[in-house]
Amino acid sequence: MGRQSAGASFLAGYARHAGTRDLACMAPDRKAAETFAETVRTTAIENNRPLNSARWIPIDMPERLAEIGCLYYPSPTIAYHAWIRRRHDQRAWSLCGITHTTASDTVMEAIGTFATAPIQSWNAVICTSTAVRDMVQAVLDGWQNYLASRIGPGETQPAELQLPVIPLGINTADFARDDAARSNFRQAHDIPDDAVAALFLGRISATAKAHPLPMFRGLQIAQERTARKLHLILAGWFETDTERTQIERLASEACPDVRLHLVDGRDAGIRKQAWSAADMFTSL
């Protein structure tokens, strides 16, 4: 999923560029911690920045986070960790979350709980755009107004957490053009050198992500106006066979002259080949 891809890219970037050579991971068991250690050590060595250590903090020993000073949790749902910290020392470490999907009911409820959880001014949830920050603030304001109506005006204090705006970054080295991968993919899928290939990469879902109709129609119109042969690479996966059938039928109706290539975007090798094979990227 997108949030997992973003988390993996952030971790790679952190291992490459972190000012410290000692990293720590809170994990439920030693196996997970060893996976973390191997990932960051490999990334660091590849970039000539070897680590001194990659420590494991067991999830049932949160007080050891005081040794680090901050827990970064790749989700906006930091209220749970704030309650755990309250059993120890609320000043011993900060909490930092990050937004991904914000429109679902579960995420909006999680954001709303900041109004009642022991969130402190040294905690933060990174917002990936100003629109996201405004939405988070609006949800918090709504909860605060509700609490005031229940308890009484002036009897409640608003959550003081920080909401910095930092757009999601990427590890650019992962997207370097690979001519061999481009050639192999195009040959395997019969995409001529002079054809234009568009790429959509990610989970393919008209309900959970975005409806593909604008993309299909846009590519069909582009081909009609330019007389250039267009191919569309859908590198992702479907959650159900029914949805795959529906989207394939929609593509045949909305962009009948654009050749469609469905490949499994969960395969890292296929993702790399598809990225190199494409001439342009489209994200809904």
Question: Each residue of 31-77: pLDDT tens digit?
Answer: 999 988 888 888 777 777 777 778 899 999 999 999 999 999 999 99
Average pLDDT value for residue range 140-166: 85
Question: Is residue 199 in some structural domain?
Answer: yes
- Alpha-carbon distance of 259 to 119, in angstroms, equals 52
Give the amino acid at 47: N
Is the domain of 47 the same as that of 107? yes
How many structural domains is the chain composed of?
A: 2
Question: Is residue 159 in some structural domain?
Answer: no
DSSP 150-176: HH-TTS------B--B-PPP--GGGG-
Question: Is residue 170 in some structural domain?
Answer: no
Is the domain of 10 the same as that of 145? yes
Is the domain of 124 the same as that of 227? no
Is the domain of 107 the same as that of 228? no
Task: With a cut of 80, say whether residue 157 has pLDDT above it.
Answer: no
- Alpha-carbon distance of 70 to 93, in angstroms, equals 5
Please check whether residue 194 is in contact with residue 157, taking contact to mean a CB–CB distance below 8 angstroms.
Answer: no
Is the domain of 137 the same as that of 28? yes
Question: Each residue of 87-132: pLDDT tens digit?
Answer: 999 999 999 999 987 877 888 899 999 999 999 999 999 999 999 9
Boundary (domain end) residue, out of 118, 151, 184: 151
Please check whether residue 173 is in contact with residue 208, taking contact to mean a CB–CB distance below 8 angstroms.
Answer: no
Integer-rounded Cα radius of gyration of the chain: 23
Question: Is residue 171 in some structural domain?
Answer: no
Q: How many CB atoms lie within 10 A of CB 93?
A: 21
Is the domain of 202 the same as that of 125? no
Task: With a cut of 90, say whether residue 268 has pLDDT above it.
Answer: no
Is the domain of 60 the same as that of 198? no
Q: Kindly state the tokens that stand for 240.
A: 């159900």
Task: With a cut of 70, say whether residue 180 has pLDDT above it.
Answer: yes
- Alpha-carbon distance of 26 to 33, in angstroms, equals 7
Q: How many CB atoms lie within 10 A of CB 1?
A: 12
Boundary (domain end) residue, out of 151, 185, 204: 151
Q: Which pLDDT score is estimated for 123?
A: 96
- Backbone dihedral region for residue 48 (phi beyond 0: left; psi -120 to 50: alpha; all else: beta): left
Question: Is residue 235 in some structural domain?
Answer: yes
Is the domain of 220 the same as that of 180? yes
Question: Is residue 59 in some structural domain?
Answer: yes
The pTM of this model reads 0.75
Structural domain for 68, as ranges: 2-151
Task: With a cut of 90, say whether residue 173 has pLDDT above it.
Answer: no
Question: Each residue of 222-258: pLDDT tens digit?
Answer: 999 998 999 999 998 888 899 999 999 999 999 999 9
Is the domain of 137 the same as that of 55? yes
Angle, CA 55 vertex, CA 38 and CA 65 arms, to 5°: 135
CATH number at residue 245: 3.40.50.2000
More confident call, 77 vs 152: 77
* 5 — pLDDT class (breaks 50, 70, 90): confident
Is the domain of 16 the same as that of 139? yes
Average pLDDT value for residue range 270-280: 93
* 155 — pLDDT class (breaks 50, 70, 90): low
Q: Kindly state the tokens that stand for 178.
A: 């690979």
Contacts of 44 (CB under 8 A, 6+ apart): 15, 16, 50, 51
Is the domain of 193 the same as that of 137? no
Is the domain of 124 the same as that of 25? yes
CATH number at residue 96: 3.40.50
